[in-house]
Amino acid sequence: MQPKIIIHGGFFSESADTEEIRIAKRNALTNIVTEAHEYLQENSALKTVIYAVSLLEDCELFNAGLGSQIQSDGKIRMSAAIMDGFSKKFSGVVNIEEIKNPVFVAEKLMNYEDSVLSGAEAQSFARQHGFQYFNPETESRRRSYIDKLAESSRIGTVGCVALDSEGKLAVATSTGGKGFEVPGRVSDSATVAGNFGNDFAAISCTGVGEDIVSAALAAKIVTRVTDGLSLKDACDRSMNELKPYNGFAGVIGISADGDVYHTDSHPFMVWASYAGTLEVFS
């Protein structure tokens, strides 16, 4: 099986992102997907999606980890999830604070029966397992917070789906929230609506979390592939079901037979893939 990978960095905001930022995001995604693809050659899909999402979390251009959005009370709360398509294990953290890489805390939880933790308990678990204090706030996010954030700049997530040489699939997704939200709001990223995979397909979502949860989007797409639809048809049919309420979402996915696909309801999602050749959004 030829290893394949696709990543996303949320949506490009026409009102908030300049052409310079667009180019920077394109370059960052190119570098990250190339590095992650090289990593995938010698590592499992599961290890690779965690590695790739950690690189995305470390890049302040994206709304996850470093550079996460600031909520209405001035704090940053992040969420992340991982799912191993082979073992069917799902783990995640919801609204965790003062951590550098939420995806690494989610990885640690893969070894626990209680594998999804939220809030202060998630942070306490992280501290108990050696994750040190880290402030993910950047100057640009602080300026945006002071300006109360442009509505269109509040949509963002990062994610990765990988297929390894043994034919195993895995997916990881991470977000810094939508910005200026009510504290306690739960995004789709640490739920099966936004991050889901099995032996047949794996999907990571980005967009408006409430729309994605309403559609049970990732789980629905994977279920349809499991039931016999192609990855493209499963994605397209599920995305069409967002139209009655003008749902805002984008998805990336890989199927067990090696199909790689991405689509969005409101162009355009920023993405990059390496499936034999390098492709990046343009």
pLDDT of residue 138: 85
Q: Is-contact 107 50, C-beta < 8 A?
A: yes
Q: What are phi and psi of 123, to 5 degrees?
A: -65, -40
Half-sphere exposure of 35 (CA within 13 A, CB side): 13
Look at the block and give the residue holding tokens 């930022």.
Answer: 21
pLDDT of residue 145: 65
**Positions in the chain whose pLDDT score sits under 70:** 14-16, 144-156
- The residues pairing with 79 across neighbouring beta strands, listed in sequence order, are 175
pLDDT, tens only, 140-190 = 777 766 565 444 444 568 999 999 999 999 999 999 887 778 788 888 999
For residue 216, give the 3-state DSSP assignment.
coil
Peptide bond preceding 196: is omega within 30 degrees of 0, i.e. cis? no
Please count the other Cβ atoms lying within 10 Å of the Cβ belonging to residue 244: 7
30 is a catalytic site residue:
no
pLDDT of residue 5: 98
Q: Which two tokens stand for residue 77?
A: 């709360």
pLDDT of residue 16: 67
Among candidate residues 18, 30, 34, 157, the one labeled active-site is 157
Q: Which two tokens stand for residue 2?
A: 């030829």
pLDDT, tens only, 204-215 = 999 999 999 999
pLDDT of residue 15: 61
CA distance 36 to 11: 21
pLDDT of residue 18: 85
Per this entry, what is the length of the chain?
282
Q: What are phi and psi of 69, to 5 degrees?
A: -70, 155
pLDDT of residue 146: 59
| Domains, the chain | 4-280 (3.60.20.30)
252 contact partners, CB below 8 Å, separation of at least 6: 6, 7, 8, 159, 161, 203, 204, 261, 262, 269, 271, 273
Look at the block and give the residue holding tokens 């626990």.
Answer: 112
pLDDT of residue 73: 85
Closest CA to 255 of 204, 199, 216: 199
H-assigned helices in 129-216: 139-146, 209-215
CA distance 71 to 3: 38
271 contact partners, CB below 8 Å, separation of at least 6: 6, 7, 8, 9, 29, 250, 252, 262, 280, 281
Q: Which two tokens stand for residue 19?
A: 């052409």
pTM of full prediction above 0.75? yes
Let me know the angle formed at the C-alpha of 51 by 45 and 56, rounded to the nearest 5 degrees: 125
- Residue 74 carries which DSSP code? S
CA distance 162 to 44: 9
pLDDT of residue 150: 42
First to last CA, the chain: 28
